[in-house]
Amino acid sequence: MLKNLHIENIAVIEKTDIDLSSGFNALTGETGAGKSIVIDSINAVLGERTSKELIRSGCERAEVCALFCKLSSKAISVLSDNGFEPDEDGNLLIRRVLSISGNGSVKINGKPATVGILKSIGNVLVNIHGQHDNQGLLNSDTHYLYIDKIAENNGILNEYYTEFKHLNAIRRELETEETNDDEKQRKLDLLKFEIDEIEKADIKIGELKSLKDNLEIAENYQKTVNLLNIAYNGLNGTDDSDGAVSLISNSQKSLSAVNGDNFSSTVQKLYDALSLLEDATCDIRSFLQTAEFSSLDTENLRQRLDLLYKLMLKYGNSEEEVLKYLDNAKTQLSNIEMSDKRIAELSAQLDKSTERLVSLGDKLTQSRKATAEKFAKKVTEVLKQLDMPNVVFSVKIEKMHYTKYGCDNVEFIIRTNLGEEYKPLCKIASGGELSRIMLAIKSVLANKDDVDTLIFDEIDSGISGRAANKVGMELKGVSNSRQVICVTHLAQIAVCADTHLLIEKSVNDGRTYTTVTPLSYEERIKEVARIMSGTDITDNLYNSAKELLDRSKNNGNL
């Protein structure tokens, strides 16, 4: 429950601390005193979107702190899921700072958090119900949510939604498979041509580089051979003349025959030169006799390269990509050729999924109808307590097309007077009736709601007299199991509260200030009297207010 609320520099509130009890808390005050500011502050600390206009004029920053205690197991679970936990006393302190610069901050038990995390946690701490909730009641598209909450349909809804997604996935694949025959045949012909073209090429990884290297050799081979023959003949000689090897060999032999040692070094030089020349001659002869290069066909090499370039232009930038394209094309061809079999498989799967979805939809419908009957009966009983004795509340459930939420159109209908027909809630003109219907629904939902704190923001619009008495007692009843905070302008509701807080506005030195003060018994009498008349409090008015308060406290009814 919400134990304490600290507000600082929010609109007309400079600084205030509000202590709240575990039962029924009423907030009253004159129009414009700042009751809505308190609700805006609570919304802010729960993670709702705020605006810079909420910050008090002349201030750079504002903050709201909320202290929660006696957390529910669900609240603790959501905290844990987001990386937080209560303190050692089981409390939770949320602090949100707003800044004119936009650099606000959020802290949960002293640890930084995002506004998104704060909102998810706030959703399980407090529910705020205001006059706008009446508009929600008028929207029949959301009525199934109330029924599913009471029926605790989360499990079956998840099953249904999972099957709903599965069925649609099958349907989409089936539609893809069932393309027209002309398109399928065109695709088959194209794939077969592409596969045949690539397979005939018999591409090998690394072939492109090898072809380019060999082509370079082949294109220069003849010129190279001619030059090498000239060099070889010069070294080895021809039939008509001696070569350098023979001439130097003869010279070396002649010098070796000279007596004495005068030319021994020269003979050695000629011997070394002869050895080098013989090696060179051997290298040239070896190249000229190699069959690998002599057999290279320049034209064939060029044709093969042109084919590879053509295929890579169509199917990829490398041998690897072209071969990968081939594998994909074969897979596609196989899939298309197997499509008739796949269509039959998908059709069978679709039939089974449809059968499961219909079964789950029927199960969901049955749960909703059974719950709706009990829900309508309980709401009708509460409405009778709220001074609407002739009203009968009902839930109309009709079959509709299958959506992700089920196959039911759920709508709340009502008969306000005996002998009249049931009508949708949107046909009810009275705001007071709508407020009481909303309260009745919230009252029935209270025990199914995991949230410990319910805030009612002036839901008593259009209500007065005996109906107001009944609403006050109903709120008191709801507070037996939940903390209730109610902003009200009706004395009959305020006197039912366990804790009564007065919101007052004052002006000091040209600035407006709002304070929130818990009222004593005597102060409550005066505030109830003010609410009843809005004028000076006479003795009679004072006594009437005291009697109203005492009757509420002593007898539990008005």
Q: What is the pLDDT of residues 225-284, one digit of tens each?
A: 788 888 888 888 888 888 888 888 888 888 888 777 778 888 888 888 888 988 888 988
Tell me the CA distances in angstroms from 166 to 123, 179, 288, 357, one per residue in order: 31, 21, 73, 10
Element housing 70 (H / E) = none
DSSP state string for 439-473? HHHHHHHGGG---SEEEEESTTTT--HHHHHHHHH
Tell me the CA distances in angstroms from 202 to 319, 322, 324, 326, one per residue in order: 10, 11, 13, 11
Alpha helix (H) ranges present in 202-243?
207-236
DSSP state string for 132-180? HHHHHHH-GGGHHHHHHHHHT-HHHHHHHHHHHHHHHHHHHHHHHHT--
**What does the alpha-carbon distance between residue 552 and residue 539 come to, in Å, rounded to a whole number?**
20
Q: Are 63 and 13 in contact (CB under 8 A)?
A: no
Q: How many helices (H) and strands (E) does the chain have?
A: 19, 15
* Closest among 499, 456, 371, 353 to 131, alpha carbons compared: 456
Q: Which amino acid is at 2?
A: L
In terms of DSSP bridges, do strands 423-424 and 406-415 run parallel, antiparallel, or are they unpaired? Answer: antiparallel
What confidence score (pLDDT) does residue 134 get? 58
The residues near 368 (Cβ < 8 Å, ≥ 6 apart) are 144, 147, 148, 151, 153, 397, 406, 408, 410
Tell me the CA distances in angstroms from 372 to 143, 149, 367, one per residue in order: 11, 11, 8
Sheet holding 406-415, edge to edge: 392-403, 406-415, 423-424
Given the structure tokens 């202590």, which residue do they identify?
Answer: 19
Q: Which two tokens stand for residue 418?
A: 């005996």
pTM of structure: 0.62
Which SS3 state, helix, strand or coil, does residue 39 take? helix
* Closest among 348, 365, 346, 353 to 163, alpha carbons compared: 353
Q: Could you report how far apart the first and last alpha carbons of the chain are, in Å?
A: 27
What confidence score (pLDDT) does residue 399 get? 92
**What does the alpha-carbon distance between residue 33 and residue 36 come to, in Å, rounded to a whole number?**
8
Q: Are 353 and 170 in contact (CB under 8 A)?
A: yes
Instruction: Identify the DSSP state of 258.
Output: S
Q: Are 361 and 407 in contact (CB under 8 A)?
A: yes
What confidence score (pLDDT) does residue 64 get? 95
Alpha helix (H) ranges present in 259-318?
264-288, 291-294, 298-315
Q: Which amino acid is at 292?
A: E
Residues of the chain with confidence (pLDDT) below 70: 130-136, 179-181, 222, 290-296, 429-432, 447, 449, 461-462, 535, 554-558
Sheet holding 111-113, edge to edge: 13-19, 2-10, 61-68, 92-99, 105-108, 111-113
* Closest among 154, 169, 174 to 347, alpha carbons compared: 174
The residues near 203 (Cβ < 8 Å, ≥ 6 apart) are 308, 311, 319, 322, 323
What confidence score (pLDDT) does residue 392 get? 92
Exposure b/e, 267-278, CB count within 10 A at least 16 = b: beebeeebeebe
**What does the alpha-carbon distance between residue 447 and residue 482 come to, in Å, rounded to a whole number?**
9
* Closest among 401, 396, 412, 399 to 146, alpha carbons compared: 412
The number of residues in the chain equals 558
* Closest among 391, 530, 474 to 31, alpha carbons compared: 530
pLDDT digits (tens, 9 = 90+) for 202-228: 999 998 998 888 787 777 776 777 888
Tell me the CA distances in angstroms from 149 to 202, 371, 446, one per residue in order: 67, 10, 11
Beta bridge partners of 292: none
